[in-house]
Amino acid sequence: MAAAFSISPTVDLIDVPRRIALTGLPAGAEVTIAAETPRDGHLWRAQAVFKVGADGSIDLERDAPLRGDYAGVAAMGLVWAQTGQGELFPADLSRPLETTLTAHVGGEPIASGCFSQTLMADGVTRHPLAEDGLVGTLFLPAGEGPYPAIMILNGSGGGINEPRAALWASRGVAALALGYFGAPGLPKYISNTPLEYFARGLDWLRARVRPKNDFVAVAGQSRGGELALLLGATFPDKVSGVLGYVPSAFVHGGQAAADPAPGLGRDGPCWTLDGKPLVHQWQDNASASWKPYDEATEMRRNADAMRTALSDPAAMARARIPVERIAGPVLLLSGGDDGAWPSDLYSLIVQSSLLAAGHSHEVLWKNWPAAGHSILFPHVPATRIAHRHPVSGIATTMGGTPAANAAANAGAWEAALAFLRRHGGQAG
């Protein structure tokens, strides 16, 4: 019996885990399995060595590798353990990610297989937005609808998060990836971003989609998570639900994505409302200090500086996002080893504030204690933990481990899908 891969499903959306097995092997043999995925012109790769079971098979849902790029039983380990250069996703999201698996014994290939991860389901359509000063991309599900709607906001890296919006649309949600800086037609920096811009975006999305049950949620990561909570609190009549990925309970200044001009910078304002900057947690804060970050001798952790601000309760109270004004359900997703800021503590504060105020909607907090700040997308490489900030160029660590971050990526997406099904009623 010749060795052969069994992969199920071979073609499906990227959020679907795959069952990968290899059969027809001599019991007790050591087999190396390598996975290669071309990603935006660069090859990403991972491999691991397994011992064949008594039944002549290797099953990634059952078997841990003896050694390799990941440890422990992990059905998708050969994907999330991949390393490489460039972007994770192709520029054309209609193109699937094709992963090739190769098995070797003693350096000789004995079997190969492949599977495809798609980002856009059949019938999903892409619609660029550039009107009324708004810049982004709308993805619509297949079929006539109506669908619930969601606005997707990136963090301090800026840009437009089309992959996440495409996946939401594939699951039955009209998704607008709205840019607000760091993309063509938008400011270069996050400083002095008016909240009214997002109110216009919400109005545009509602008018364009006419969402099911008039449901329009806001989802953001990092600074986008802070922003999502802030929008829910500022425009409760426009925001039906909030999904905060590694969010903040407080308004922050410009930080790493700030305009370096005098009067702005990392300690300057980030958000404005009615033409006035919002008070942020570094303002008139007697304890806030960048020293733990600036004077770090090894990899910097932004969270070390953020924690210094917490020792001035009056300053933090002035900067707290009044989340009790949110008029819908809230989902909070955090990591306990967050290197950017203490998103687990911030999420606890948000949850506690809402519960203390007798919030009449669901408040759900999911925390992964060993995960870091990069809780982003299911079943993709989770090995980019330390990086240079795309705006400031400073090398920092986001925290966590590839295994913990991969588990958080998958779990967060499952929680987000279930949240939208409960409250938005999408069919996907």
Shared domain check, 249 and 175: yes
CA–CA separation, 363 and 267 (whole Å): 31
Q: Write out the two tokens for 141.
A: 């599900």
User: Which residues lie across from 334 on neighbouring strands?
Assistant: 367
Give the other-Cβ count within 10 Å of 142's Cβ.
16
- Exposure b/e, 275-303, CB count within 10 A at least 16 = b: eebbbbbbbebeebbbebbeebeeebbbb
358 contacts: CB under 8 Å, gap ≥ 6: none
Residue 428 has pLDDT above 60, yes or no: no
Asked if residue 299 and residue 172 are part of one domain, the reply reads: yes
Mean pLDDT across the chain: 96
307 with 406, same domain: the answer is: yes
Q: What is the pLDDT of residues 27-52, one digit of tens each?
A: 999 999 999 999 989 999 999 999 99
Buried b (16+ CB within 10 A) or exposed e, 214-228: ebbbbbbbbbbbbbb
Q: What are phi and psi of 106, to 5 degrees?
A: 60, 30
Do both 130 and 155 map to the same domain? yes
Does 303 have pLDDT greater than 80?
yes
> Distance (Å, rounded) from C-alpha 29 to C-alpha 53?
8
The pLDDT-based confidence of 417 (bands split at 50, 70, 90) is very high
- The more confident residue out of 203 and 394 is 203
State whether 99 and 143 are in the same domain: no
Q: 410 lies in a domain?
A: yes
Q: Report the CATH number that the domain containing residue 298 is assigned in CATH.
A: 3.40.50.1820
Q: In sequence order, which residues have a C-beta less than 8 Å from that of residue 154 and are 6 or more positions away? A: 160, 161, 177, 179, 182, 220, 221, 224
What's the average model confidence in pLDDT over 208-219?
A: 97
Average confidence (pLDDT) over 153-181: 97
Same domain, yes or no: 9 and 25: yes
Residue after which a domain boundary falls, among 84, 118, 152: 118
Shared domain for 398 and 318, answered yes or no, is: yes
> Which pLDDT belongs to residue 1?
62
Question: Would residue 109 count as lying in a domain?
Answer: yes
Mean pLDDT, residues 292-319: 94
CB atoms within 10 A of CB 11: 13
Does residue 146 form part of some domain?
A: yes
Summarised one tens digit per residue, pLDDT across range 353-389 is 999 999 999 999 999 999 999 998 999 999 999 977 7
Residues 278 and 188 in one domain: yes
Tell me the whole-structure pTM to 2 decimals: 0.96
Instruction: Give the span between the Cα atoms of 402 and 386, in whole angstroms.
Output: 11
* Residue 245 forms part of a structural domain: yes
As a whole number of angstroms, the distance between CA 133 and CA 119 comes to 28
Tell me, yes or no, whether 428 lies in a domain. Answer: no
Radius of gyration of the chain (CA): 22
Q: Where are the alpha helices (DSSP H) in 281-375?
A: 291-294, 302-308, 313-319, 343-356
- Range from 117-121, 265-269, 296-300 carrying the lowest mean pLDDT: 296-300
In angstroms, the CA 164 to CA 47 distance is 27
CATH number at residue 21: 2.60.40.2240
Is there a domain that residue 34 lies in? Answer: yes
Q: Domain for residue 292, yes or no? A: yes
69 lies in which domain range?
A: 4-118
Mean pLDDT value across residues 70-78: 98
pLDDT of residue 202: 98
Q: Is the pLDDT confidence value at 427 over 60?
A: no
- Please state the rounded mean pLDDT for residues 206-218: 97
In 11-96, which ranges are E strands? 11-13, 19-23, 30-39, 42-51, 58-59, 67-68
Give strand pairing partners of 250. Answer: 320
pLDDT band at 71 (very low <50, low <70, confident <90, very high): very high
**Domains: count for the chain:** 2
Q: Does one domain contain both 197 and 71?
A: no
Query: What's residue 392's pLDDT?
Result: 66
What is the predicted pLDDT for the residue at 155? 95
Instruction: Please indicate, yes or no, if residue 282 is contained in any of the structural domains.
Output: yes
Please state the length of the chain.
428
- 53 and 132 both lie in a single domain: no
pLDDT of residue 296: 84
Q: Which of 102, 118, 134 is the last residue of a domain?
A: 118
- Do residues 175 and 237 both lie within one domain? yes
Last residue of a domain, one of 118, 142, 175: 118
What is the structure's pLDDT at 390? Answer: 72
Give the span between the Cα atoms of 415 and 410, in whole angstroms. 9
